[in-house]
Amino acid sequence: MVVDVLSATFAALSDPTRRSLIDRLTAGPATVLELAEPFSISQQAVSKHLAYLENAHLIERRRDGRQNFCALKPQTIRQVAGWAEGYRRIWETNFQRLDTVLAEMKSGKKPSPSVKPKRKKKNPK
């Protein structure tokens, strides 16, 4: 994934109103009017938020007569989830190691280091 796409996605999701719009769209496509209904902001402001989400490739809009329908574009969400998954695995492994060390400490055993500390090399003079 190109970092610019990832940056645009996170920037779009940084706003609570836009995250709320994404949450509403998980139930399925909706019109701009339906999406604007629960907010205490103008329809024009909601449209600007939707444009931001559309530019970040998180949603797509289609016109049907006089109504604009919005729907999620799951492929972008999948890309973000894939990126985050790598970090989740790293942290999960680290937490498993920590659990092992804590269990060894609790049982009175000396924790066995999983990685040996590097020794400094002496510089020959």
pLDDT digits (tens, 9 = 90+) for 65-106: 888 899 999 898 888 888 889 888 889 988 998 888 888 888
Q: Please, are residues 72 and 25 in contact by the beta-carbon 8 Å criterion?
A: yes
User: Element (H or E) spanning 1, and its range?
Assistant: none
Q: Which residues contact 50 (CB under 8 A, 6 or more apart)?
A: 21, 32, 35, 59, 61, 70
Q: Summarize pLDDT for 15-37 with one digit per residue, the tens.
A: 999 999 999 999 999 999 999 99
What CA–CA distances, in Å, run from 33 to 46, 52, 115?
9, 17, 58
Kindly calculate the radius of gyration of the chain based on its CA atoms and give it in whole angstroms: 24
Confidence at residue 12, expressed as pLDDT on a 0 to 100 scale = 95
Q: What is the pTM assigned to this prediction?
A: 0.69
Residue 93 lies in a domain: yes
Tell me whether residue 85 is in a domain: yes
How many domains would you assign to the chain? 1
Residue 38 lies in a domain: yes
CA-based end-to-end distance of the chain: 49
Domain containing 92 equals: 1-107
Q: Check pLDDT > 90 for residue 118.
A: no
Residue 92's CATH number: 1.10.10.10
Res 109: pLDDT: 74
61 or 120, greater pLDDT:
61
pLDDT tier at 122 (50, 70, 90 boundaries)? low
